[in-house]
Chain A
Amino acid sequence: MSPRLLRRAGSALRYLLLSLAAFLSVFPFFWMAIGATNTTADINKGKVSLGSALSANIASFVAAVDVPLILWNSVKIAVFGTALTLLVSSLAGYGFEMFRSKLRERIYAVVLLTLMVPFAALMIPLFMMMASSGLIDTHIAIILPSIASAFIIFYFRQASKAFPRELRDAAKIDGLREWQIFLFIYVPVMRSTYAAAFVIVFMMNWNNYLWPLIVLQSNETKTITLVVASLASAYYPDYGTVMIGTILATLPTLFVFFAMQRQFVQGMLGSVK
């Protein structure tokens, strides 16, 4: 084969692989959108074209679920949980990087070690803690355990390594207290790191399933993820209705991701250039 032909074959192979990957990642969304317009019978048959059951599906979803309430529950947990996680975990990451102490690396190692503990192992003690504090079936029980996130602390400490120490020195000479340095210098300088962390934590909170499933017991406190899952696990699930719920559950994360895509990429690369 001539080198030119070889190059063409290589590029064709590359496109083939990329197309396959694109198909695999996009098809579920496509299937979800198509499914929302079809009846359960059609979906079960494997129909992949637009149907005419969209309004019927929407109507049955709205009839089955208190849509504003569950959306509000999800938004509340995701937004407050994310804001608190970013505040507390970034403060910890900042502290770990800025303050020298003999114990620093040991404490940090313990924090990182908690990343290795699977959630399933924490579930029961956590549940007992929440039960003894009377927090079962409240949203606080969902938000509290995630605020100090070892991963986000780690992420912020790594990002803080690029934060110029001389900025902190300059701010001290300008008369700022430590909390003012954090708030007025660190946070704005690291804003793309915050944006990336926001996307990650928001998605984790929004999609959180297992822990809310255990803690949230009444219909009034449930999140959209729980409701969609419970619709899908009925004896005879109405897939058309489930797809409406799935779309509703997916849209906010898509919106957050696309709205912050640029900052997300920049934050992953590092805030400080």
Chain B
Amino acid sequence: MAELSLKGIRKTYGSLEVIKGIDLEIEPGEFTVFVGPSGCGKSTLLRMIAGLEDISAGDLTIGGARMNEVDPSRRGIAMVFQSYALYPHLTVRQNMGFALRFAGVPKSEIDRQVMEAARILELEPLLERKPGQLSGGQRQRVAIGRAIVRHPKVFLFDEPLSNLDAELRVHMRFEIAKLHKKLGTTMIYVTHDQVEAMTLADKIVVLRAGVIEQAGTPRDLYADPDNQFVAGFIGSPRMNFLPAEIVTQGAQFALRLQGMEALFPLPALSASLSAGQRVTAGLRPEAFHRDGDTTVSLAVEMLEYLGGETLVHGRIAPTGDIITAKADAKDMLAGQERVRVAFNAADILLFDADGARIR
């Protein structure tokens, strides 16, 4: 049975609907990441699970019990906030034990639990300090510690790393992944950073404008996106999209990229196509190689040297569409005005005019 399930969840403010019917099952121990652009409703959805926002319609169950109207403290959840939300007037020890104190847990038991969490997170030397005396990374660990002490069924993380600098973010990401492995607890994590989503998640839920665009493993979402939005959102740098047209080639359909002579025979697709149909072809920057069945020449606009690889931003003659290709940094591209890159037609993903994937 699912640890947490959302059925037809909706959220409306007056006449404005921000969550438009979410159905989702989260398995015990699963690390689920809600990802999407600003304003997609991912944080609202998390706050509804936490009980900080009312649920306008639908059912939320945690551990099999319906939780719609249950008090946040009785839902078996713990939450880590973006701003950490540590009580500034209390020490680290008091912050971590605060919930237990209000639950009427005896003092010796609180001490034991706090010490246990402090040991896991290596916070022992900081226990008597106040949050104002801690660095960003330490505060983040205390916030996680406060959550651990509650022994929740589900951990909720609301963009917990976005206030940290780049280096610390990578480190804390690793820490959270380790923690999940150690505790094995169900975790729901909200972020707008798709790298965090890809690295942490067992399951990624991509949201846009209050609906789930796609939910699946990072690998599924990357390799087999359901639509153009997901294809563009997952992967960095983002997928190149080129206008294209379906043409007939003998008895078969083929694809012609706008401005190119070459035709790409299409494999048998389940979708019904028609000649002359306008589609969008998606090709990831990492689909470009030195060799492949198709070669294009790019007029170099900009090169980004990243050490291990080089990003080539170039225009395709003659349409002028800019595409990004990843090239091996060993290829000496600097100073070149034109670069030839190759790809395999099989790597092209097709999307119809509405952005839905053509499979």
Q: Which residue of A lies closest to B143 (CB)?
A: A170
As a 0/1 sequence over residues 60 to 94 of chain B, the CB contacts with chain A under 8 angstroms (1 = contact) are 00000000000111100111011101111100000
Contacts of B73 in A (CB 8 A): 172-176
Contacts of B103 in A (CB 8 A): 175
User: For chain A residues 164-189, which have a beta carbon within 8 Å of chain B?
Assistant: 164, 166-167, 169-176, 180, 185, 188-189
Q: Is the CB of A169 within 8 A of B85?
A: yes
CB distance from A187 to the nearest CB of B (A): 9
Which one of A169, A175, A180 lies within 8 Å of B79 (CB-CB)? A169
Q: Is the CB of A173 within 8 A of B87?
A: no
CA distance A272 to B87 in the complex (A): 12
CB distance from B210 to the nearest CB of A (A): 20
Contacts of B102 in A (CB 8 A): 174-176, 180
User: For chain B residues 17-48, which have a beta carbon within 8 Å of chain A?
Assistant: 47
As a 0/1 sequence over residues 214 to 255 of chain B, the CB contacts with chain A under 8 angstroms (1 = contact) are 000000000000000000000000000000000000000000
User: For chain A residues 155-209, which have a beta carbon within 8 Å of chain B?
Assistant: 164, 166-167, 169-176, 180, 185, 188-189, 191
Contacts of A172 in B (CB 8 A): 51-52, 72-73
CA distance A174 to B146 in the complex (A): 9
- B50 at the A interface (CB under 8 A): yes
Q: Which residue of B lies closest to A167 (CB)?
A: B85
Q: Is the CB of A166 within 8 A of B72?
A: no
Q: Is the CB of B79 within 8 A of A173?
A: yes
CB distance from B224 to the nearest CB of A (A): 37
- B172 at the A interface (CB under 8 A): no
- B99 at the A interface (CB under 8 A): yes
CA distance A201 to B83 in the complex (A): 34
CA distance A188 to B90 in the complex (A): 9
Contacts of A191 in B (CB 8 A): 89
User: For chain B residues 110-148, which have a beta carbon within 8 Å of chain A?
Assistant: 146
Contacts of A176 in B (CB 8 A): 73, 102
Contacts of B47 in A (CB 8 A): 169
CA distance A272 to B83 in the complex (A): 13
As a 0/1 sequence over residues 131 to 174 of chain A, the CB contacts with chain B under 8 angstroms (1 = contact) are 00000000000000000000000000000000010110111111
- If A174-B99, A175-B102 touch, whether A164 touches B50 (CB-CB below 8 Å) is no
Which one of B71, B79, B89, B98 lies within 8 Å of A188 (CB-CB)? B89
Which residues on B are within 8 Å of A, measured CB to CB? 47, 50-52, 71-74, 77-79, 81-83, 85-89, 98-99, 102-103, 146
CB distance from A10 to the nearest CB of B (A): 40
- If A174-B73, A189-B88 touch, whether A166 touches B99 (CB-CB below 8 Å) is no
Q: Which residue of B lies closest to A173 (CB)?
A: B72
Q: Is the CB of A173 within 8 A of B78?
A: yes
Q: Which residue of B lies closest to A102 (CB)?
A: B14
Q: Is the CB of A166 within 8 A of B82?
A: yes
Q: Which residue of A lies closest to B87 (CB)?
A: A185
Which one of A169, A175, A188 lies within 8 Å of B81 (CB-CB)? A169
- If A180-B102, A188-B89, A189-B88 touch, whether A173 touches B83 (CB-CB below 8 Å) is no
CA distance A37 to B337 in the complex (A): 96
- If A169-B79, A170-B79 touch, whether A175 touches B99 (CB-CB below 8 Å) is yes
Q: Is the CB of B87 within 8 A of A189?
A: yes
Contacts of B82 in A (CB 8 A): 166
Q: Is the CB of A166 within 8 A of B81?
A: yes
CB distance from B344 to the nearest CB of A (A): 49
CA distance A101 to B149 in the complex (A): 35
CA distance A33 to B88 in the complex (A): 45
CA distance A174 to B88 in the complex (A): 15
Q: Is the CB of B77 within 8 A of A173?
A: yes
Q: Is the CB of A189 within 8 A of B89?
A: yes
Q: Is the CB of B50 within 8 A of A173?
A: yes
9 residue pairs A–B, Cβ–Cβ below 8 Å: A169-B52, A170-B86, A170-B87, A172-B51, A172-B72, A172-B73, A173-B73, A176-B73, A189-B88
User: For chain A residues 71-96, which have a beta carbon within 8 Å of chain B?
Assistant: none
List 7 A-B pairs, minimum CB-CB distance, nearest first: A175-B73, A174-B99, A166-B85, A170-B85, A188-B89, A166-B81, A173-B72
Q: Which residue of A lies closest to B78 (CB)?
A: A173
CA distance A170 to B83 in the complex (A): 11
Contacts of A175 in B (CB 8 A): 71-74, 99, 102-103
Q: Is the CB of A164 within 8 A of B85?
A: yes
CA distance A134 to B88 in the complex (A): 47
CA distance A14 to B20 in the complex (A): 65
- If A164-B83, A166-B82 touch, whether A173 touches B88 (CB-CB below 8 Å) is no
Q: 11 more A-B contacts (CB under 8 A) besides A164-B83, A172-B51?
A: A164-B85, A167-B87, A169-B81, A171-B87, A173-B78, A175-B71, A176-B73, A180-B102, A185-B87, A189-B88, A189-B89
CA distance A120 to B85 in the complex (A): 46
Contacts of A170 in B (CB 8 A): 79, 81, 85-87, 146
CA distance A180 to B103 in the complex (A): 13
Contacts of B87 in A (CB 8 A): 167, 170-171, 185, 189
Contacts of B71 in A (CB 8 A): 175
Contacts of A167 in B (CB 8 A): 85, 87
